[in-house]
Amino acid sequence: MINFHQVHKAYRVSGHDIPALRPTDLQIARGEVFGIIGHSGAGKSTLLRLINRLEEPSGGRIEIDGVDVTALDAAGLRRQRQQVGMIFQHFNLLASKTVADNVAMPLKLAGELSRTAIEQRVAALLARVGLQDHANKYPAQLSGGQKQRVGIARALATEPNILLCDEATSALDPQTTGQVLQLLAEINRELNLTIVLITHEMDVIRRVCDRVAVMDAGVIVEQGPVAEVFLHPQHATSKRFVQEAEHVDGDEQHDDFAHVPGRILRLTFQGEATYAPLLGTVARETGVDYSILAGRIDRIKDTPYGQLTLALTGGDIDAAIARFNAGDVHLEVLR
């Protein structure tokens, strides 16, 4: 459990305080994948680095499992950091060390395990991320995806409770991004590891996160379960991120439908409702005709969802709307 109480951070630049994070309260539950999305400069990177105090807060209190990490002395902070793994956009592996030595590094620094115990742990970690054949290579000989796997193995070496991901997939191509996200999801399930990730891509949030916070100008403007924020964004920033993920331009959409006759509705299905034959049933019962103007059927983490924009004509449209409202579906009447 990570708890932020009125945490804020300002940087001092040539005599002026530039706020990076406004006073913020935040709770992240144990074992969840929590995403923070925002444009660059929104404060998400600062927020992430406050958790392991790579950034010192200007004020407020951060508790991890009841321990006030803002009050830790240097030695306490080092012990705490061994319980928090971190991976980076540019991997930050040591070019001078082999893959195995990179993964072993946090264990050697902690100095608690014997050499053989470290070797065994490293071998197991490399097998877990699928790099057992690359133990003696140097990072420069690996692809981006492989480097991030080394980063993940290294972050997990000290068996932490929390994994911080700093734009971990932003430097990777889409296919590799998918593989790395899948690996993160597996680790989250198997180890009950709390993952906090920051990104500027809604797609990353949609694929692995349980909950999301949207940041803008140092403030969390919206937060909640991913399905809630993704399907029904409230704040302008959230809406923009969702539109980016859907590859649609909000204004364009309305113009496109100007010439379409009839009532326009947007239906949002979640879970099993996505697979129910609702459209056909309602059309048959009320005699309306429908045409699908826009739509998407996909998954949010493990939950299927569908979002369809329909134009209804003919038949008993009000009865159809009432019938949709009674069903297991979220309805918005757009026109």
Partner 1 sequence: MDALLTELLPNVDWTEIGYASLDTLSMLGFSMLFTVLLGLPLGVLLFLTGPRQMFEQKALYGIVSLLVNILRSVPFVILLIVMIPFTVIVAGTSLGVAGAIPPLVVGATPFFARLVETALREVDRGIIEATQAMGATTRQIIVNALLPEALPGIIAAITVTAITLVSYTAMSGLIGGGGLGDLAVRYGYQRYQPDVMLVTVVLLLVLVQILQTVGDKLVVHFSRK
| Residues in touch with partner 1 (CB under 8 A) | 52, 54, 77-82, 84-86, 88, 90, 92-97, 105-106, 108-110, 138-140, 158, 164
Residue with token string 């971190």? 86
By the 8 A CB rule, do 311 and 256 touch? no
Q: Which is nearer to partner 1, 78 or 284 (CB)?
A: 78
Shortest CB 207 distance to partner 1, Å: 25
- Residue closer to partner 1 (CB basis): 157 or 229: 157
Considering the complex, state which of residue 80 and residue 237 has its C-beta at the smaller distance from partner 1.
80
Nearer Cβ to partner 1 (113/283): 113
Do residues 85 and 159 lie in contact, with contact meaning Cβ atoms separated by under 8 Å?
A: no
Q: Which of 60, 52, 58 is nearest to 7 (CA)?
A: 60
Q: C-beta of 291: minimal distance to partner 1 in Å?
A: 52
The identity of residue 319, as a single letter, is A
Long-range pairs for 66-74: beta carbons < 8 A, 24 or more residues apart: 66/1
Query: Which is nearer to partner 1, 101 or 244 (by Cβ)?
Result: 101
Per DSSP, helices labelled H in 27-143 are: 44-51, 74-81, 99-110, 115-128
Give least dist CB 46 to partner 1, A.
13
Chain position carrying tokens 């002026």: 16
CB of 47 to partner 1, least distance (A): 15
Q: How far is the CB of 83 from partner 1 (least distance, A)?
A: 8
Residue 199 C-beta: closest distance to partner 1, Å? 18
If the CB atoms of residues 88 and 257 are measured against partner 1, the closer one turns out to be: 88
Residue 182 tokens read as: 């899948």
Alpha-carbon distance of 34 to 25, in angstroms, equals: 14
Judged by CB, which is closer to partner 1: 77, or 319? 77
Closest CA to 168 of 209, 215, 204: 204
The contacts of residue 36 (CB under 8 Å, 6+ apart) are 44, 47, 48, 196, 197, 198, 199, 212, 213, 215
- CB nearer to partner 1: pick between 28 and 226: 28
At residue 204, φ and ψ (nearest 5 deg) are -65, -45
Report, in Å, the least distance between residue 63 CB and partner 1. 19
Provide the edge-to-edge strand list for the sheet that holds 330-333: 289-300, 303-313, 263-270, 330-333
Q: How far is the CB of 82 from partner 1 (least distance, A)?
A: 4
